[in-house]
Amino acid sequence: MGSFNLAFLWHQHQPFYRDLRTGRCILPWARLHAIKDYIGMLLVLEEFPDIRATINLVPSLLVQISDYAANQVQDDALRITRKPADGLDESDAEYILEHFFLGNAERLIRPHPRYAELAARRDEIRRKAVRTTHFSVADWRDIQVWATLAWFHPLVVERDPVLSELRKKGRDFTEQDKAAMLDRQQAVIADVIPRHRRLAEAGQIELTTTPFYHPILPLLCNMECARLALPDVPLPARRADYFSADAEVQVARAVEYHARLFGAPPAGTWPAEGSVSEDLGPLLRRHRIRWIASDEIVLSRSTAVNLKRDGYGNLECPDDLYQPYRMPGGADMPAIFFRDHHLSDLIGFAYHHGDPRAGARDLVARLHTLASRCTGAPRVVPIILDGENPWDHYELAGLTFLRELYTLLANDKIISTVRMTDYLDAHPPERSLPRLHAGSWIDGTFRIWIGHEDDRKAWELVAAAREVVAAHGGPPSAPATEDARRAWEEIFIAEGSDWFWWFGEEHHSEQDDLFDELFRTHLANAYHYVGQPAPAALAKPVSRPYKAVQWSEPRGPVTVTVDGCVTALEEWANSGRCPGAVGGAMHQAANVFVGEIRFGIMGDMLCLRADGLGGTSEIADLELAFNFHGSIARRLIVRPVNPPCATLLDETGAEIARIETVAMCDILEIACSLPLLAGERTDGLEFFVEVLRAGSTAQRIPREGAIPVRRPPGH
């Protein structure tokens, strides 16, 4: 056994997508991740019986998987997939075009030629606003099949002759083919929970939990704790400080449900988003939770430990981070582990950009460096991250990376993988925290979930509904009737972190409106179950229309030398800007090839700039399409390879001109005649940008809408 311990904690979670009153499930992600990541992570581990890991399963995800396994729920996408292709109506077709191509294009669509072909045609339909009848019945059926078939984990396909044959067939599927695929999906989902239990009983994995509907537990316990990290943050005007009773229920139900599914209560928990405060210690102790985990930023703000890193991002003195601590309050308080933020994020957000085997080797090399810097008792490095979302960006759903990583670790003489509780049993905490900072893994604050006006509005809606339910249905721990129990269930769901993640300016998805609507639906249902009318406020979206404004307009004319370099800072100082992704780059769900688009007017020329392509290894495979609409339509196609080339097309796709003023070095710069782009009238001209790979859209800037081209003041 090695002298340095590595503790993986893979956190498996999806929002709760079902409307309990109607049974409608709005989005398919729990189902699709089940047939790819939740089963796939186990299949890879089974190939390496000496590798130990901890898997955290959120109860609200397990409820959804159980419902799918029992065939008691179907999401909107599954319902439409089951319909015969020759029976689809216009609304079904629109839904398919909107929702059946949402997977990562590079990893889930492009590897399958027929799916990629259909995606390219879908993009053309949306771009030109032509009728959806351009698809035949056979096309629609192939889309129905590929939208699920592409998601199955490679090891599932490899071991299943039905799925393997369907992948080989590739096109012209029959209704019988589709039915066979859906049968295999049902079997895979039904195996997810039992397989977790078998691996846990065999001792290879440890299973842990999170409060039931993934709430930010410190905010339920005491919202005032948000001000410990953000002293000036406004709090909801109506915030129901009695949410603390709900925190007790969310924890108690999680522990009970976990024990019922897996035959034993959990020893540990990953609080949603690694969110902790001192209020959690007594609460978790009451439910016999032995340990929790958070992020290194919480440790650094709780103590004076040295978390300085070298130029490669490795800790210079790792002993302080690589050990558990006792939470404040006494020797019987739970222990707390702190994740290595840098190493966890390398897996989550970095290694998929290059050779996955090289990424695995880099991680192990870093672990050896860190092991050499540790002193004293055998230390443990906690690597904690999502166990499903990263693999959307890796080739073969992360299989290549994980096989290489587990192979290296299984043969390593220094590093041993451990389950968290096993390490704690062998190495109880040496230190107790004098205080525990109240914060999460993001910035060490709760800003994402309470820092924006929209967040606070949402909390006030929850508080108002909770007051009504408490007045008419009894306390949350002992509802007066079955309908009161249902009402409380809706309140608990609305307390989940996911709604607040999408409110505000930080994070966006193509389903923002659906999340907003479902959040308000849960609260409206709570009123319904206690026989009270829902307030008018629940008929209005929580989020404001500002989300559509994703760019800044030019402040004045630009003076650009088109050479592919930032020749002088003042060149683009007055330009308008549109980011390639909204929110922090680490939270994006799609590939980001272009970091930012800049635009401005120089005389009668429109100047365009794309940043970030110089750091993209796949640049030879990319094209940028600048789509202009006004009194006429134009499409500027740019290949950024050196030397770059740019071609202007009309609305039929015919070439109008070659644009010579284009250059690519550190940045991509283009200057094009405004009359050539807009005709005689430049007013009303707007544009959006597509980054294309193999003809399919890999990135759109802005995500929604189009950027107006206006002459700046005084120009």
CA 654/CA 635 separation, integer angstroms: 10
| Helix H or strand E encompassing 512 | helix 512-529
- For residue 696, list its beta bridge partners: 693
* pLDDT digits 0-9 by tens, 101-127: 988 888 999 999 999 999 999 988 877
Which pLDDT score, from 0 to 100, does residue 427 have?
A: 96
- Is the confidence at residue 702, as pLDDT, over 50? yes
pTM summary value: 0.80
**Which phi and psi angles does 241 have, rounded to 5°?**
-60, -10
Region 4-14+203-432: CATH code? 3.20.110.20
Which pLDDT score, from 0 to 100, does residue 711 have?
A: 78
- Cβ burial, residue 93 (10 Å; 0-12/13-18/19+): middle
| 426 within 8 A of 432, measured Cβ to Cβ | no
| pLDDT band at residue 156 under the 50/70/90 scheme | very high
Buried b (16+ CB within 10 A) or exposed e, 433-471: beebbbbbbbebbbbbbbbbebbbbbbbbbbbbbebbbe
- Is the confidence at residue 691, as pLDDT, over 70? yes
* pLDDT digits 0-9 by tens, 565-586: 877 767 887 888 888 864 333 3
Which pLDDT score, from 0 to 100, does residue 243 have?
A: 81
The yes/no answer on whether domain 569-708 falls in CATH 2.60.40 is yes
CA 417 to chain centre: 26
- A 10 A CB-CB count for 240 gives 21
Which pLDDT score, from 0 to 100, does residue 289 have?
A: 98
Which pLDDT score, from 0 to 100, does residue 131 have?
A: 56
Name residues whose C-beta falls within 8 Å of residue 409's C-beta, 6 or more positions apart in sequence.
6, 48, 51, 364, 415, 417
In the chain, where are the structural domains located? Answer: 4-14+203-432, 452-548, 569-708
CA 495/CA 642 separation, integer angstroms: 52
* pLDDT digits 0-9 by tens, 532-568: 999 999 998 998 754 445 688 888 889 999 988 877 7
Which pLDDT score, from 0 to 100, does residue 126 have?
A: 75
CA 551/CA 73 separation, integer angstroms: 40
| pLDDT band at residue 133 under the 50/70/90 scheme | low
Highest mean pLDDT among 186-200, 351-365, 548-562, 571-585: 186-200
